[in-house]
Homo-oligomer: A and B are copies of this chain.
Amino acid sequence: MTSLLDRLRARGLRLTAQRRVVAEVLAGEHLHLTADEVLARATASLPEISRATVYNTLRELVGLGEVAELSGEGRAKLYDPNAHAPHHHLVCERCGAIRDVSPSGADAVALPAAQRHGFSVSGVAIVFRGLCPACRAQESHPGSARRAASQSRTARDPRRLA
């Protein structure tokens, strides 16, 4: 299997330290990071990397189909390096945590021709919404968290554990 860097080269893209670092940051299997988080992690190994370069690189990787872009709940997009293993997502409505779920079983999802409205369909994204175990615990525990139902988009963000 060709490495990401090989694939970059194959597309005629130059192999810079910055691109390598961004690719490394996005190496995990079940990872969903914002551009800002990618920048933060990249800066750890390459302090002089700039925000613009991170955005540029992410856009390239998305264009190459190496990384998927999730328009998640919050305002910032999430980048999902696991693009080669098609999968879907399970997201906590309260804290934003995301887990990958494999497209097994029920995933014979196809749009009947009658419903295609003349479109050619090339893919499908499925997002299950719900409550993660931690948030579920807090919900049933009315004492600690009051009015947790509101849109606490600004709250802490355990996306990391995805």
Contact = CB atoms under 8 A, between A and B. Distances in A.
Contacts of A126: 109, 124-127
Interface stretch (A10-18, A20-28, A34-42, A113-121): A113-121
A142 interface: no
Contacts of A59: 151
Nearest to A102: B115
Contacts of A63: 150-151
For the side of the interface on A, what is the size category? 35 or more
Interface in A105-162: 105-112, 115-133, 136, 150-151
A62 to B, nearest CB: 8
A101 interface: yes
A11 to B, nearest CB: 13
A99 interface: yes
This protein's copies in its complex: 2
A72 B77 CA distance: 11
Residue in A130, A136, A150 with the greatest tally of chain B CB atoms within 10 Å = A130
A129 B118 contact: no
7 contacts: A62-B151, A106-B109, A106-B112, A107-B109, A118-B132, A121-B130, A123-B129
Interface of A: 59, 62-63, 71-73, 90, 92-93, 99, 101-102, 104-112, 115-133, 136, 150-151
Given A106-B109, A123-B128, A123-B129, 12 more contacts: A59-B151, A90-B121, A101-B115, A104-B112, A105-B112, A106-B108, A106-B110, A117-B133, A118-B132, A119-B133, A125-B127, A126-B126
